[in-house]
Amino acid sequence: MTDTDSILGAGRYVTDGGLETDLLFNRGFELPEFAAFPLIETDDGASALESYYDEFAEIALSAGAGLVLETPTWRANPDWASQVGYDGEEMDRANRAAVHLMQRVKARNAVGSTLIAGVVGPRGDGYVSDGRSDRDEAAEYHSQQIQSFADEGVDFVHAMTITGAAEAVGIVKACRASGVPVAISFTVETDGRLPDGSTLREAIELVDSEAAPDWFGVNCAHPTHIVEAFDGGDWQSRIAELRPNASTLTHEELDAMEVLDTGDVGLLTSSLDALRPHLPKLAIVGGCCGTDSSHVAALWGIKT
Tell me the pLDDT tens digit for each residue of 188-230.
999 999 999 999 999 999 999 999 999 999 999 999 999 999 9
DSSP secondary-structure letter at 24? I
> Please, which residues have CB within 8 angstroms of residue 44's CB and are 6 or more apart in sequence?
none
What is the model's pLDDT at position 242?
98
What is the model's pLDDT at position 1?
40
Give SS3 for 211.
Answer: helix
Question: Cα separation of 148 and 244, whole Å?
Answer: 27
What is the model's pLDDT at position 20?
97
Confidence of residue 16 (pLDDT cuts 50, 70, 90): very high
4 has a pLDDT exceeding 80: no
- Mean pLDDT of all residues in the chain? 95
pTM: 0.96
Mean per-residue pLDDT, 14-39:
97
Confidence of residue 3 (pLDDT cuts 50, 70, 90): low
Q: What is the pLDDT of residues 135-171, one digit of tens each?
A: 999 999 999 999 999 999 999 999 999 999 999 999 9
Alpha helices per DSSP H over the chain = 4-8, 19-21, 43-63, 78-83, 88-108, 135-151, 165-178, 200-211, 223-226, 251-256, 265-275, 293-299
Q: What is the pLDDT of residues 30-83, one digit of tens each?
A: 999 999 999 999 999 999 999 999 999 999 999 999 999 999 999 999 999 999
Using a pLDDT cut of 90, give the percent of the chain over it: 89
Using alpha carbons, select from 226, 221, 23, 14 the residue that is nearest to residue 112: 14
What is the model's pLDDT at position 2?
54
CA within 13 Å, CB half, 236: 14
What is the model's pLDDT at position 66?
97
Confidence of residue 258 (pLDDT cuts 50, 70, 90): confident
